[in-house]
Structure 1
Amino acid sequence: MRLLLDSFWRAVAYCLHPRVIVLSLAPLALMAIGGIGLGYFYWTPAVAWMREALDAWPILSSLWGWIESAGAADFKSVLAPMLVIFLATPVIVVISLLIVSGLMAPALTRLVAQRRFPALQQKHGASFFLSMFRSLGMTLLALLALIVSVPLWLVPPLVLVLPPLIWGWLTYQVMSFDALSEHASADERRELLRAHRWPLFAIGVLCGYLGAAPSIVWASAVVFAAAFFVLIPIAIWIYTLVFAFSALWFAHYCLEALTQQRAVRAAAAAIPGPDAPAVELSAATSRQWEAP
């Protein structure tokens, strides 16, 4: 618990570092350019396709008729952009996570290592490409789990539990591996992740709940639809900042745990084994008998 809380407040403090702020804005600029480009070319066709899909569902025709009779004739024109955004949100989250994992997480880990653990030996237990392929595989598994769990979201409590758990598991798997890829050997990484899997998973789940913060911005559908191109960059920046905080939290925790693990091993290696006194006594006795 001490290590968990200590790494938490250090990660919060590091979020105010100028380098962290710049790194959190760089992916935002790239994603804003990509989002504007995709919105320019595909926003109108996507909304039109969604309206056609809503009209094509016979089970919803009576619902539309009841809503229009209540005076909300343009309800589908508001609902269609909302659904497009709802479907695009997981993609935005995944892209943010991949960008942070591929670009920001190693840079933030090096920042923590340089400032707190300059003497920590780097054993390079995983390459950059292995980390990227592993992150991609874990992301695909998380997306599959999200798709499979969508019907369970209709149960009110589960919609507040399942997505953060899935994103927390993904964050735990990706961030902890990246935090140890440069400094820990493969054996050290496996041992540390096995010994600290539950605290690391708790960090991932907490970061998963923090990743739901942009939902507060999107609480009003009318405001969101009116200010789409303003709120999307803000939401992406919030996601990016949360992921930067997650990377810092995992870096502080994992590198401190690795330092303690190596210190315990060094102390154990320095202590003589139980047979050492007997060996020394035997050697002294033999020298006594050999003396003239």
Structure 2
Amino acid sequence: MRLLLGSFWRAVAYCLHPRVIGLSLLPLLLMVAGAFALGYLLWDRAVDAVLAWLQEWALVEFVLGWLDSVGLSALRVVVAPLLVLALATPLIVVLALLLVAWLVTPALAEWVALRRFPDLQRCRGGGLLGSIVWSAWSALLALLLLALSLPLWLIPPLALVLPPLIWGWLTSRVFAYDVLAAHASAQERRELLAQHRLPLLAMGVVVGLLGAAPSVLWVSGAMFIALAPLLVPLAIWIYTLVFAFGSLWFAHYLLQALHAWRLAQARHPLVPEPAGADTAGPGGVEPPARPPRATVIDVQACPIPAPGTSPPPAS
């Protein structure tokens, strides 16, 4: 818990740095340009398709007719745009998450490592291609889970639990991989993700809940269509800032966990006993047991320095 809260407050402090604000602008520019390009090409078609679909439902047509009868016919105009924005929101969130993970997270993780752990060995257990495949596959699974769980959202308790869990799972998988890609080996990454599974999931859920805040702006953009060109870029920027904060939180947490884990490995190296060797000491007394270790890293692929010494520079 101390590591969890400590890394949280460090991430909050780092978010105020101009570097973080500057790095968040690149995903923002890409997403805003893409959003307006797709909106120009597909917005009218999407609204017309949704409106035609709504008119096929007798109950929806009854509600729209009732709105016309009480003088609220203007609301008929915003129902279809509101649904289009609601359907597009998961795709926008996932795209913002992926762009931040690919373009911002590696730079922030390197920044945190240089400031807090300058001697941390870089084992490069992942790369850009691995990050793209890992995060894209995770995003597809998350969207599939969201689609399959939609009927369960009609049950109030599940509607409050399932979406945050799915977003938290996706966020933790994507950011954990990209934070550790340069500094941890593949074996170290698997070990850390297994040891810290629940804290990482909790961090992902918190970041996912914070990322739900811009959804309020989507509603405002649908109710006041004239303000949508201003509200949409603002909402996207909030997404990128929230995910940049998530990157920093995961970077502080995982890099400190990696540093502590390597120190523990260096203090208690595992030396395999010869087959059939007698482990009893003099007089038949068993020696004290070595502290348990979760796994053994490949020291040839990623050498671990002795405590108090600096690691060799990464090749």
Would the TM-score normalized by the shorter structure come out above 0.5? yes
Q: 2:67, 2:76 within 8 Å by CA — same for their partners in 1?
A: no
Provide structure 1 residue ranges, at least 5 long, that are not aligned to the other structure: 279-292
Q: Does 1:25 align with 2:29?
A: no
| Distance in 2 (alpha carbons) for counterparts of 1:74 and 1:21 | 39
Q: Deviations over 1:205-227 (max 9, x none)?
A: 11111111112334546644331
Does the 8 A contact of 1:101 with 1:175 survive in 2?
yes
Contact 1:124 1:185 in 2 (8 A): yes
Other-structure match for 2:5: 5
Q: How many residues align?
A: 278
1:183 counterpart SS class: coil
Q: Percent identity?
A: 55
Gaps of 5+ in 2: 283-315
The answer to whether the 8 A contact 2:218-2:232 is kept is no
Structure 1 276/254 Cα, relative in aligned 2: closer, same or farther at 3 Å?
Answer: farther
Which residue identity lines up with residue 33 of structure 2 in the other structure?
A: I
Contact 2:124 2:184 in 1 (8 A): yes
Shift of 1:51: 1.4
Letter in 2 for 1:149: S
The separation in 1 between residues aligned to 2:179 and 2:60, in whole angstroms, is 48
Letter in 1 for 2:211: G
Bigger Rg, structure 1 or 2: 1
Letter in 2 for 1:77: V
What is the rounded CA distance, in whole Å, between the counterparts of 1:51 and 1:41 in structure 2?
17
Q: Name 1:141's counterpart in structure 2.
A: 141
SS at match of 1:160: helix
The separation in 2 between residues aligned to 1:91 and 1:218, in whole angstroms, is 13
**Hey, what does 1:175 align to over in structure 2?**
175
**Cα distance change, pair 277–16 in 1 and its aligned pair in 2 (3 A):** farther
Rounded to whole Å, the distance in 1 between the matches of 2:71 and 2:256 is 61
C-alpha contact (below 8 Å) 2:179/2:250 kept by paired residues: yes
1:150 equivalent to 2:150? Answer yes
Query: In 2, are the aligned partners of 1:170 and 1:204 still within 8 Å (CA)?
Result: yes
Structure 1 Cα separation of the partners of residues 53 and 118 of structure 2: 57
Match for residue 41 of structure 2? 41
TM-score, normalisation: structure 2: 0.83
1:27-71 CA distance string (max 9 Å, x none): 111111111111122222221222111112234232222232222
Q: Match for residue 286 of structure 1?
A: none
Which amino acid letter does the alignment assign opposite residue 265 of structure 1?
Answer: Q
Q: Which residue of 2 aligns with 1:54?
A: 54
Q: Answer yes or no: is the 8 Å Cα contact 1:27–1:99 preserved in 2.
A: yes
Preserved CA contact (<8 Å) 1:51 1:76: no
Q: Is the 8 A contact 2:221 2:231 kept in 1?
A: no
Which stretch of the first structure deviates more once superposed, 215-224 or 114-123?
215-224
Map Cα deviations across residues 216-260 of structure 1 (whole Å, 9 max, x no partner).
334546644331111111110111001000111001100000000
Residue identity matched to 1:156: P
Alignment of 1:1-292 (within 5 A): 1-220=1-220, 223-269=223-269
**Cα deviation, residue 14, structure 1:** 1.0
Task: Work out the CA distance in 1 between the residues paired with 2:159 and 2:86.
Answer: 14
The structure whose residues are more often helix, as a share, is 1
Question: Matched residues in 1 for 2:216 and 2:74: separation?
Answer: 24
The answer to which of 120-129 and 252-261 deviates more is 120-129
- 1:145 to partner: Cα distance: 0.6
Judge conservation of contact 1:169–1:204 (CA < 8 Å) in 2: yes
- Quick one: structure 1 residues 32 and 256, their matched pair in 2 at CA, closer, same or farther if it must change by over 3 Å? same
Aligned-partner Cα distance in 2 for 1:254–1:115: 15
* Cα offset, 1:76, TM superposition: 2.1
